[in-house]
Amino acid sequence: MRAMYGRTRPNSPRAVLRAEVDRQAERLVGRALGAALDPETENVKAAHLALKLIAEADPAQQSQVELSGEISPEAVDNLGLGALVALAERLELTPAETS
């Protein structure tokens, strides 16, 4: 069984980009909010920017689990959310960040 959660490669391009975004977070947030709130920004574009900001600030939780071995489709259909959460806790997994 292999489950994939969170960052696993600290020197990947995504990790390097994330580190720089973390360093420039205040400036980037100001720029993004400024564009969404600027009265000169077209209404539809401002609404789209606002929705993207909200989605980034409060993302939907997602997780992925990849199973291998002898398991039938019927057995997978019978796994409930509780069983998947218990498995994730047992493996000490944390939710992955979405992009």
> The pTM is what?
0.46
Q: Which of 85, 99, 98 is CA-nearest to residue 3?
A: 85
In DSSP terms, 2 is beta-bridged to: 66
In the three-class reduction of DSSP (H, G, I as helix; E, B as strand; rest coil), residue 4 is classed as strand
Helix (H) or strand (E) holding 65: strand 64-66
| Residue 38 clears pLDDT 90, i.e. is over it | yes
pLDDT, one tens digit per residue, over 71-89 is: 666 775 677 888 777 767 7
Predicted pLDDT at 11 = 81
What crossing angle do the helices spanning 43-57 and 25-37 adopt, rounded to 10°? Answer: 140
Rounded to whole angstroms, what are the CA distances from 30 to 10, 20, 96?
27, 16, 26
